[in-house]
Amino acid sequence: MNKTIYALVLIFFCSLISYAQIRNFEKHADSLFKTWDNENQPGGAATVIKDGKIIYLKGFGSANIETNLSISTQTKFQLGELSKQFTTLAILLLLEEGKISSNDDIRKYLIEFPKYEHIITINHLLNHSSGLYDINRVNYMVNGCMTITTQSKALKLIASQKQLSYQPGTYFSFHESITESVLMAEIVARSSGQSFADFVKTNIFEPLEMRHSVVRDNSNAILNNVAQPYQKGDGEDYKKLEVISSVVGAINVYSSAEDLAKWYLNYTNPQGKIGRLIQRLDTPVQLDNGKTFVYYWGEMAIGREFAHPERGLPIFWNYGLQGGYGTNVFRYIDQNIISFALGNSNQYNGALAQGVLSPLVENLYTEPAMINFKAKKIKKLSTKKLKTFEGHYWFKEGYASELFVENDTLRTKWLFSPKNRYQTLVPLADDTFQQYAKMEANRIFRFKKEGKDTTLFFTFNKSRADIMERYEPVNLSLKELQPYAGTYYNKEYGSLFSFSIKDGKLIANNFNHNDITLRPVKKDVFTSTSMFFNALKFLRHKSGEIIGFSMVTDGIHNLIFEKIAATNSNY
């Protein structure tokens, strides 16, 4: 009897301690989200889950300033690219049921697509290694806008591509995941006999009791209890924003904090088959040879999230930004903690979503928040040695950097930046430098010399290296620039650009784009600040005459424009 009483008393006091801890955490979180807690401005909703239990779930601010609708934990927010995780889960469900196979040619379902040189499988779509172009960049190049209004237009744009960027399964591209998610949604619809929205509702939302979640496949559809997105500039009033796209797969899932909490609880307490498959979303994307993809933000998973160490603690991070909505999710794996924030103020809210966890994880970090370069073993290099790394370096997917020595220090800047907008490099070894930064972010520059050639390997937090070759910049005279002028046409997308010489510079433009200044990098190679003309390689006939160009950027590789009235053979 005494033991029973003792146990009950112990449980009672433990409950009091736990309750007090939760109350203290709640006060901390409330103070952090105080900036959102204003009924006259947009705000957001936040959730924290620890050890499989929701310890914080609140809404703040206005869902609609005009109607005075407040944000609650049941208010719907557009999730943006966070929608991709539901698309991937839908594919995994169909694979589990045997209705599709990972090795299926996508043309089995997308019969209107061209026959490519290499087969693209569903597995290639899942692992973001298809070789298809990023439709957002293509659409911006062709139509001068980022918004694709309907699913049918998105599919037509994707199917217009005739040549792949690379053999599927041999290379990754983060930006192409948008295209691949759209196609996966379409395969779900065609193989299941349901619309993608209905399939997700029936097979995901309803089993998980996510009653305030929907796939919006018609931008004109009216949603109940949805947050209106806003934007506000300095000294301006709030202005309404709208999501006018009906494309599904990559965007257009709307969900609430309450529903997303149910979704993320499956990472710690999986519910049935769906919960088990949700946990598979953490599977790293892989090439056919098994190699994984580490992007700047970490190792990419098929759920389109990124795994990386946050100050020494392993986490998964995911985000969505679309039409004025912002979502950020942080999952601390070993600590069994999940935090996310949803907003409607057109702002990045990752600092809030992660900052709210400070009382739970601050004492667990194994690395400082600020980089302490004084504690690092700095390699002393002479100015003469530093100057051997000077020069211009070119990354083939479209950016160039200049490295120079100033005040006995090696510095780097983007080609288009002014001389005073540089970053300082700190030597760690004879051939290795780290970019000086206060916050935790390891940008490493490693040089490799072979004879007269120097190659720079740039990595960001252990990412796949950007391989940059040192080059001798060219300065072209008006006479040397003249052969590049003319009209160039891409027949796949019916896209036409005019190239001309203005103020001694090569300029590209058309009806959808203002002047794009192209800067020569080396012979027949130009770059610009445009999001699609990052790298142009001009093509010549065997006679030496320019007959077109090939463009490359992250998301579009080797798209050919032909010069009108030029010889169209022998690239």
Q: Write the pLDDT tens digit of every residue in 524-555.
A: 999 999 989 999 999 999 999 999 999 998 88
- What SS3 class is residue 202? helix
Q: What is the pLDDT of residue 168?
A: 97
Q: How confident is the model at residue 272 (pLDDT cuts 50, 70, 90)?
A: very high
- Over residues 395-423, mean pLDDT: 93
Segment 456-479 shows an average pLDDT of 94
Identify the CA nearest to 469 among candidates 490, 447, 499: 447
Buried b (16+ CB within 10 A) or exposed e, 268-284: beeeeebbebbeebbee
Per-residue pLDDT band for 16 (boundaries 50, 70, 90) equals: very low
Task: Evaluate the CA torsion angle 98, 103, 108, 109 in order and state its sign.
Answer: positive
pLDDT of res. 2? 60
pLDDT for 14 equals 46
**In the chain, % of residues over pLDDT 70:** 95
Q: At residue 96, does pLDDT exceed 80?
A: yes
Task: Answer whether residue 77 shows pLDDT above 70.
Answer: yes
**How many residues are present in the chain?**
571
CA distances for 97 relative to 130, 189, 203, angstroms:
24, 15, 12
Closest CA to 319 of 309, 333, 308, 330: 330
Q: What gap in Å lies between CA 253 and CA 191, rounded to an integer?
A: 20
Q: What is the pLDDT of residues 109-154, one digit of tens each?
A: 999 999 999 999 999 999 999 999 999 999 999 999 989 999 999 9
**Residue 196 pLDDT more than 80?**
yes
Residues 6+ apart with CB under 8 A from 304: 81, 82, 84, 85, 88, 177, 181, 318
**Half-sphere exposure (Cβ direction) of 494: Cα atoms closer than 13 Å:** 5
> What would the pLDDT profile of 346-404 be if each residue is shown by its tens digit?
988 999 999 999 999 999 999 888 877 777 788 999 999 999 999 999 998 888 999 99
> What pLDDT sits at residue 54?
97
How does the average pLDDT of the chain come out, rounded? 92
How confident is the model at residue 12, as a pLDDT?
A: 46
Mean pLDDT calculated for residue range 232-246: 89
> Given this model, what pLDDT does residue 15 score?
47
- Of all helices (H) and strands (E), which one includes residue 11? helix 2-32
- Structure tokens belonging to residue 400: 């160039």
Q: What is the pTM of this model?
A: 0.92
Q: Which one is predicted more confidently, 570 or 178?
A: 178
Closest CA to 532 of 518, 511, 546: 518
User: Would you state the pLDDT for residue 543?
Assistant: 95
The pLDDT value recorded for residue 18 is: 62
Lowest mean pLDDT among 148-152, 235-239, 261-265: 235-239
CA distances from 363 to 168, 358, 366, 369 (A): 44, 8, 8, 12
Please report which confidence band the pLDDT of residue 71 belongs to, taking 50, 70 and 90 as the band edges: very high
- Token pair listed for 270: 């999986």
pLDDT at 4: 64
Predicted pLDDT at 312: 92
For the chain, the helix, strand and coil percentages under 3-state DSSP, each to the nearest 5: 25, 30, 40
Report the distance separating Cα 343 and Cα 318, nearest Å. Answer: 15
Report the share of the chain in percent with pLDDT over 90.
84
Question: If you write DSSP's letter for every residue of 115-178 in order, what string do you get?
Answer: --SSPPBHHHHHTT-S----HHHHHHHHHS-S----HHHHHHHHHT--S-SS-TTS---STTHH
Residue-wise pLDDT for 289-309, tens only, equals 999 999 989 999 999 999 999
DSSP SS3 for 8: helix
